[in-house]
Amino acid sequence: MEKRQLLSLNISIGSYIAILEEMLKLCHQKKGGYVCFANVHMTIESYKNERLRKSVKSASLVTADGVPIAKAISWIYKINQDRVAGMDIMPDLLGQCEKQRLSVFFFGSTDDILLKIKTRAKTRYPNLNIAGSLSPPFGEFTDEQNQMFRDEINRSGADLVMICLGCPKQEVWMYKHFTDIKAVLFGLGAAFSIYAEIKRRAPKWMQKIGLEWLWRLFQDPLRLFKRYLITNTVFLIKILPIILKARIKRIS
């Protein structure tokens, strides 16, 4: 699938449906790989963090998770790029997994959240094959733990693994281990809490105009205030001249 550069990342280009279909194709191919969902925070962190940048750029797909990312791609390259957010993809993937008989494994978060996810998924998709789940300990994983995680995922026979370890940990983990895992890995992060209904998602009107970050800030101000203050400001400073330059070039 075609990609276009946005600051330090290469974003996969296509409609929401086309990218979802590409994800499912990867799962059916049984060759592994991994998918990242790029929002403003990940884009700026990748700009500063070489390890994260390398991890995201090596992904099979990198979607425009945030409205600002999708809009920036659209304005710079004059294409109509859809937002492909992890919070939307997670339920759609689960539905398609039931229809296409793909098995799913959940890795990350807490036992309580994983139980809520599995309960809701089985209620909505009764024929969904849940291959397994694993809530790892907090902190850095040892080599022995990582081997155990890989072995458990592979033994489960899962076709895809939904992962919630937080950015940048989950992206770096996928990059380091995807070659040893037979399933396709999806770094979904906060989508776990939304799907488990631990947290409420922003209203549709806020999602459409790119203010979902503000809704999340209201829910968790102590943790997110500094992140959004810095990353949103840096993103605007870096992206506006690129958008302006692209528009001037088209006019001239």
- Please tell me the predicted confidence (pLDDT) of residue 249: 78
Give the whole-angstrom CA distance, residue 54 versus residue 109: 24
CA dihedral (37, 240, 249, 48) in degrees, to 10, reads -60
Q: Tokens in use for 33?
A: 């790989």
| pLDDT tens-place string over residues 86-95 | 999 999 999 9
- Please tell me the predicted confidence (pLDDT) of residue 144: 97
| pLDDT tens-place string over residues 11-57 | 999 999 999 999 999 999 988 999 999 999 999 999 889 999 999 99
- Please tell me the predicted confidence (pLDDT) of residue 48: 85
The whole-angstrom distance between residue 175's C-alpha and the CA centroid of its chain comes to 13
Strand order in the sheet with 129-134: 61-64, 34-38, 184-187, 160-164, 103-108, 129-134
| pLDDT tens-place string over residues 139-165 | 899 999 999 999 999 999 999 999 999
**Mean pLDDT along residues 239-244:** 92
| pLDDT tens-place string over residues 118-146 | 999 999 999 999 999 999 998 899 999 99
Query: pTM of this prediction?
Result: 0.93
Angle, helix 221-251 to helix 67-77, in steps of 10 degrees: 10
What is the distance in angstroms between the CA of the first residue and the CA of the last residue of the chain? 30
Q: Which is more confident, 232 or 97?
A: 97
Average model confidence (pLDDT) across the chain: 93
Find tokens 């060759």 and name the residue. 31
Helix (H), strand (E) at residue 168:
none
Closest CA to 97 of 190, 20, 11: 20
Whether 83 and 70 have beta carbons less than 8 Å apart is answered as yes
In DSSP terms, 64 is beta-bridged to: 38
φ and ψ at residue 169, rounded to 5 degrees:
-60, -45
Q: Point out the least confidently predicted range of 70-79, 163-172, 241-250.
A: 241-250
Closest CA to 176 of 151, 134, 143: 143
Q: Tokens in use for 30?
A: 């049984």
- Please tell me the predicted confidence (pLDDT) of residue 174: 98
Closest CA to 106 of 201, 14, 22, 196: 196
Whether residue 213 has pLDDT greater than 90 = no
